[in-house]
């Protein structure tokens, strides 16, 4: 009977382990978690015709919490009350007469959620959808087993069987964590790890190596290649998931730090302007984008890490304080630059903060390239206006924006500029501008352009970029308006299968920035959206954080700083 049942289950497409005793069955269930990929999808329990202690022990084991979700089909030669009572008292359990064994297929389809190679049928119990895993293994069994295990924890998972497939996956989409088998057909995990980490097209990826052996040289090679963890195939699924969970926390923390750095750079650029930081050992450790522009440099790589004497005056920066200094400094290529700056000493750390006077570069006559750089920067803002003026709605929008900039003092209402990008995102997390999918575009445009009835307050500026002039009396109101607009976008109903709508944006106060030209404000807001686009969907960047002070007033015990 056991042989017939084994062959029948195999004919249905199942992999079957057979035991000849109830004791060995209990041992197999207990050991399944000690080796990856050995979890059982169900148990066919041959119910004894007479009471047996080993069968009773197995039934008691199946009633424990660790096995309560395991599907069980009881195969019985009779339907005694004892048998029916046990089946009725346990979830995910059914009884089938031996002589009707061919009805096993229907029972298993009802009890076991079968996962095919092409489908994802697991419903995630955890929200880890912000983490994208790439599993690289030349064994299809391991690949799909890992995929199912990670998907049950809510992770987004992509698979690759070869080095070429792994590189293609990592460069075509944003991958957070790569799980690499050490022994691949054409390479090893440490070499692939090094290749992924050094490829500029891959981005910020964290690599782990999965191996079937505890060999010291494999662990050393993997860690030296840049892997943050070396995991083992024969460890329990719980331990493997714990390692991935720890790495995911690191990825999220790094994202938060990167987001804070972008935000900090925007604050520095708004409040302090062009800034350079010099360490106590005279090493240049930081320069922001505005500083690069003032020094006519294309990249911070040519400057950060060098001794300050390569750029500053030989005697170093002028005395710290509020005094503005004028000096001839040298760029890394040797070109002299005449510039004004202030020097602030940060006593707690010994660092020097060099703040350049914005737009005060006096270009030496020998530096024609510097003149061209400044001219290009001034012209780029004007090109934004020229490109937008090609669209009638955008032209009216810019005219209305100029009207608010010129008339801010005479109004009780405040006005903010919101630039919003609307995209479609597929199941793999890839973003597609809405103008690539006409059906989505037809849904999005009428909704966004209908939000404000005032002429010139909403306009489609480019293919998937929209502008809003938001009028409000209190700062807290504008944040609610932005949230509502983005919510309307995200919840739009459409018929494009597998696509969801996402939004990114930047918010800028016209009142706080009324001294700037409209060209500069639009360029700054566009840059903010581009920064957010590189970080992920459904986010908005506040370009002037000081506005939040009025939305969050000071309390008696917690005054605002």
User: What's the Cα-to-Cα distance from 76 to each of 79, 80, 93, 98, 529, rounded to whole Å?
Assistant: 7, 9, 13, 6, 66
Instruction: Decide if 162 is inside a domain.
Output: yes
- The answer on 233 and 308 residing in a single domain is no
Q: What CATH code is carried by the domain that includes residue 486?
A: 3.30.70.270
End of a domain among 312, 334, 366? Answer: 366
- The answer on 192 and 224 residing in a single domain is yes
Instruction: Decide if 79 is inside a domain.
Output: yes
Instruction: Decide if 264 is inside a domain.
Output: no
- The answer on 139 and 98 residing in a single domain is no
- The answer on 192 and 234 residing in a single domain is yes
| pTM, rounded to two decimals | 0.40
- The answer on 175 and 62 residing in a single domain is no
What pLDDT sits at residue 304? 84
For 439-464, what is each residue's pLDDT tens digit?
Answer: 666 777 777 777 776 778 888 887 78
What pLDDT sits at residue 409? 56
- The answer on 329 and 417 residing in a single domain is no
In sequence order, which residues have a C-beta less than 8 Å from that of residue 468 and are 6 or more positions away?
417, 418, 419, 420, 451, 452, 457, 458, 485
Domain that holds residue 425: 384-551
- Total domains in the fold of the chain: 4
- The answer on 544 and 397 residing in a single domain is yes
- The answer on 401 and 546 residing in a single domain is yes
- The answer on 436 and 341 residing in a single domain is no
Q: For each of the chain's 561 residues, which pLDDT tens digit applies?
A: 888 888 888 888 888 999 989 999 988 888 876 665 567 888 999 988 888 899 999 988 888 877 878 899 988 887 677 777 788 778 888 888 888 888 788 777 777 754 434 444 444 456 788 999 999 998 888 888 888 889 888 899 999 999 999 999 999 999 999 999 999 988 999 999 999 999 888 988 999 999 887 788 889 999 999 999 998 887 777 788 888 999 999 998 888 777 666 666 655 655 566 788 888 888 888 888 777 777 777 777 778 888 877 676 655 566 666 667 777 777 777 777 777 788 887 776 778 888 876 443 333 333 344 344 334 434 444 455 555 544 567 888 888 888 888 875 555 578 889 999 888 877 776 766 655 555 666 777 777 777 776 778 888 887 788 889 988 877 778 888 888 888 888 887 766 677 788 889 999 888 777 777 787 788 878 888 887 887 778 888 887 766 555 555 555 554 444
- The answer on 541 and 490 residing in a single domain is yes
Cα(276)–Cα(287) distance, rounded to whole angstroms? Answer: 4
- The answer on 186 and 89 residing in a single domain is no
Instruction: Decide if 272 is inside a domain.
Output: no
Q: What CATH code is carried by the domain that includes residue 20?
A: 3.40.50.2300
Instruction: Decide if 84 is inside a domain.
Output: yes
Cα(120)–Cα(42) distance, rounded to whole angstroms? Answer: 19
Cα(378)–Cα(376) distance, rounded to whole angstroms? Answer: 5
- The answer on 154 and 57 residing in a single domain is no
- For residues 97, 99, 105 and 110, what is the CA-based torsion angle, rounded to 10 degrees? -10
Instruction: Decide if 546 is inside a domain.
Output: yes
């Amino acid at each position: 009977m056991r042989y017939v049942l084994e062959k029948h289950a195999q004919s249905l497409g199942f992999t079957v382990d057979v035991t000849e005793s109830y004791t060995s069955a209990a041992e197999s269930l207990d050991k399944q978690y000690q080796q990856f990929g050995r979890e059982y999808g169900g148990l066919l329990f041959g119910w004894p015709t007479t009471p047996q202690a080993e069968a009773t022990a197995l039934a008691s084991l199946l009633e424990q919490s660790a096995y309560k979700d395991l599907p069980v089909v009881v195969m019985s030669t009779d339907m005694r009350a004892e048998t029916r009572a046990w089946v009725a008292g346990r979830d995910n359990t059914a009884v089938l007469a031996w002589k009707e064994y061919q009805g096993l297929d229907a029972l298993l389809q009802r009890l076991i959620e079968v996962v095919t190679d092409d489908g994802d049928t697991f419903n995630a119990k955890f929200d880890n959808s912000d983490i994208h895993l790439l599993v690289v293994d030349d064994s299809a069994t391991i690949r799909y087993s890992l995929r199912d295990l990670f998907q049950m924890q809510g992770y987004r998972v992509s698979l690759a069987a070869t080095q070429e497939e792994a590189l293609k996956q990592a460069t075509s989409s944003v991958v957070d964590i790569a799980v690499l088998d050490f022994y691949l057909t054409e390479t090893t995990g440490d070499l692939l790890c090094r290749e992924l980490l050094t490829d500029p097209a891959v981005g910020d990826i964290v690599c782990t190596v999965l191996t079937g052996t505890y060999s010291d040289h494999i662990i050393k090679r993997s860690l030296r290649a840049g892997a943050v963890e070396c995991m083992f195939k024969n460890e329990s699924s719980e331990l493997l998931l714990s390692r991935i969970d720890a790495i995911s926390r690191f990825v999220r923390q790094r994202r938060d730090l990167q987001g804070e750095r972008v935000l900090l750079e925007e604050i520095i650029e708004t409040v302090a302007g062009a800034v350079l930081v010099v360490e106590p050992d005279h090493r240049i450790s930081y320069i922001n984008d505005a500083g690069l522009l003032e020094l006519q440099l294309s990249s911070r790589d040519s400057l950060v890490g060098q001794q300050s004497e390569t750029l500053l005056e030989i005697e170093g920066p002028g005395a710290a304080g509020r005094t503005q200094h004028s000096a001839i400094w040298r760029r890394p290529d040797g070109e002299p630059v005449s510039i004004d700056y202030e020097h602030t000493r940060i006593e707690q750390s010994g660092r020097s903060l060099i703040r350049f006077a914005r737009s005060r570069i006096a270009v030496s006559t020998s530096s024609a390239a510097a003149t061209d750089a400044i001219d290009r920067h001034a012209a780029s803002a004007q090109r934004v206006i020229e490109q937008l003026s090609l669209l009638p709605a955008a032209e009216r929008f810019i005219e209305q924006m100029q009207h608010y900039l010129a008339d801010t003092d005479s109004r009780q209402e405040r006005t903010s500029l919101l630039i919003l990008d609307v995209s479609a995102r597929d199941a793999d997390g890839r973003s597609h501008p809405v103008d690539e999918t006409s059906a989505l575009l037809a849904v999005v445009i009428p909704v966004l352009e209908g939000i404000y009835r005032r002429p010139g307050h909403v306009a489609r500026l480019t293919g998937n970029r929209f502008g809003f002039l938001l009028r409000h009396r209190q700062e807290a109101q504008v944040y609610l308006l932005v949230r509502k607009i983005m919510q309307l976008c995200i919840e739009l109903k459409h018929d494009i299968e597998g696509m969801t709508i996402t939004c990114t944006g930047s918010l800028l106060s016209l009142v706080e920035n009324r001294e700037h030209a409209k060209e500069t404000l639009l360029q700054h807001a566009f840059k903010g959206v581009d920064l957010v686009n590189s970080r992920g969907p459904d986010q908005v960047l506040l370009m002037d954080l000081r506005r939040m002070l009025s939305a969050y007033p000071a309390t008696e015990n917690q005054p605002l700083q």
